[in-house]
């Protein structure tokens, strides 16, 4: 897909972070953008900063009717949609799998996974009918790997990767000229991960330090954790950089976009373990 002036993009989770960076970059390229976010005041403020080509809508992506109405509003206003960016996401809490409350599982999967599915169901039929367009589903590097205490988040992002792969195959089956890209960023400097990015600065005796100490498994020191976090934080990129790299993948019709590359070889190591298991099974 060639991204160009006159097109229309829809972005969920657009009030801040990567979503707002997508909106800023696309309006700068001459596109009109429809921004959806949960908090009306925040998304309206973002839209106002972008000017007359930005439209703000408030709603919860986990509710199918919100995305259906968003599609109707977009087509009623602009008569077209070219780029759908399913970006809305939340991290959830950090308990072990067996302690994660059921309501946390419901909310994280509702936003991160079903929010993407609802966006696909609402917009892809219009893209197929128009014979053009592209879908960007924002997953995470956690969707290609995983780490302790991110079970609901990683599960939702793994599912987004799978849904994206299947969607691409299904569109190919029906001969639709609609592209799919699943973005799997690592650390991006956004409010979603602000506390993680700030973790290495936690001082002994501070509230942040004590909170970390309570959340670590027995035998692991806060200092050890902070040292590891410092190395990970150093890999963080800005939201505009992530967006630039993801949009490059869109224009190259690439299914996978990893704007940070890998992180400590986590995705690569997982792939190698799967390949090794396949070899043992032969």
| In contact, 34 and 7? CB cutoff 8 Å | no
Q: How many helices (H) and strands (E) does the chain have?
A: 11, 9
| In contact, 136 and 184? CB cutoff 8 Å | no
CA dihedral over 221, 227, 231, 233, signed as positive or negative: positive
| In contact, 163 and 116? CB cutoff 8 Å | yes
Catalytic residue, chosen from 153, 182, 192, 197, is: 153
DSSP 38-101: S-HHHHHHHHHHH-TTEEEEE--TTSHHHHHHHHHHHHHHHS---EEEE----------GGGS-
Rounded distance, CA 35 to CA 56, Å? Answer: 5
Spatial CA neighbour of 79 closest among 19, 148, 6: 6
153 catalytic, yes or no?
A: yes
Residue appearing with tokens 């099974």: 281
Residues identified as active-site: 153
């Amino acid at each position: 897909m060639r991204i160009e002036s006159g097109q229309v993009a829809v972005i969920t989770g657009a009030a801040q972070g990567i979503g707002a960076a997508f909106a800023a970059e696309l309006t700068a390229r001459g596109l009109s953008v429809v921004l959806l976010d949960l908090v009306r005041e925040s998304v309206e403020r973002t839209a106002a900063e972008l000017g007359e080509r930005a439209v703000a809508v408030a709603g919860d992506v986990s509710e199918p009717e919100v995305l259906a109405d968003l599609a109707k509003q977009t087509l009623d206003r602009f008569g077209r949609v070219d780029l759908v960016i399913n970006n809305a996401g939340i991290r959830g809490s950090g308990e072990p799998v067996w302690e994660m409350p059921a309501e946390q599982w419901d909310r994280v999967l509702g936003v991160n996974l079903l929010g993407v599915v609802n966006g696909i169901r609402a917009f892809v039929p219009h893209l197929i009918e128009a014979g053009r367009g592209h879908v960007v589903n924002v997953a995470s590097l956690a969707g290609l790997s995983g780490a302790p205490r991110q079970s609901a988040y990683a599960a939702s992002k793994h599912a987004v990767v799978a849904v994206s792969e299947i969607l691409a195959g299904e569109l190919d089956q029906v001969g639709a000229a609609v592209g799919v890209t699943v973005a799997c960023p690592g650390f991006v400097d956004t409010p979603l991960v602000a506390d993680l990015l700030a973790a290495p600065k936690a001082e002994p005796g501070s509230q942040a330090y004590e909170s970390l100490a309570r959340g670590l498994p027995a035998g692991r020191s806060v200092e050890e954790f902070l040292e590891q976090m410092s190395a990970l934080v150093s890999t963080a990129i800005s939201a505009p950089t992530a967006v630039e790299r993801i949009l490059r993948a869109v224009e190259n019709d690439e299914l996978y976009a990893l704007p940070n590359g890998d992180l400590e070889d986590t995705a690569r190591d997982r792939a190698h373990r799967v390949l090794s298991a396949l070899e043992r099974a032969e």
